[in-house]
Structure 1
Amino acid sequence: MREWPVQDAKAHFSELLDTCLNEGPQVVSRRGEAKAVLVPLEEWNDLNKRATPSLKDILLADEPRFEMDISSRTNWTWRSVSVEE
């Protein structure tokens, strides 16, 4: 993965884009510190898909992905409802 100073990335954006598409993600740095990554769209979509599971993936998972705090019914407050015709 090549690192491009922001000035070079601006001046040679077409080359940066071609390198990204042919060789993979490219790092853009500012003042010697990595700040961003240019990745091919297909790879970006794949990463987003894996980061955001579908409802089916969540329901079929072996382990729960998150905890839900559901209070027991004994703590619920019940109120009366009148049904008028």
Structure 2
Amino acid sequence: MMGSWQLQEAKQRFSEVVRKAHDEGPQIITRHGDEVAVILDMAEYRRDQGRRAGLQGVSSCRGPT
């Protein structure tokens, strides 16, 4: 479950934000109601980076269109 934090609150409770990112999933940071950042668990970040690398490899193998 994604959590959402106002920037000021996230700064004050940063350890909790990080713990929740690890335990519950991405934590969205907002400023003046706009989503401006996300805190991810490192394992989730690495999985995402692996998927991106795999997708880049697929697109580069297609050849000219």
Q: Counterpart of 1:23?
A: 24
What is the aligned length?
62
Where structure 1 has 5 or more consecutive residues not aligned to the other structure, the ranges are 70-85
Q: Which has the higher strand share?
A: 2
CA deviation after TM superposition for structure 1 residue 53, in Å: 2.2
User: Which structure has the bigger radius of gyration?
Assistant: 1
Where structure 2 has 5 or more consecutive residues not aligned to the other structure, the ranges are none
After superposition, the C-alpha distances for 1:38-69 in whole angstroms (9 at most, x for unaligned) are 11000100100110129xxx4xx6xxx24555
Residue correspondence of structure 1 range 1-85 to structure 2 within 5 A: 1-53=2-54, 58=57, 65-66=59-60, 68=63
Q: CA RMSD in A?
A: 2.2
* Percent identical: 30
TM-score normalised over the length of structure 2: 0.81
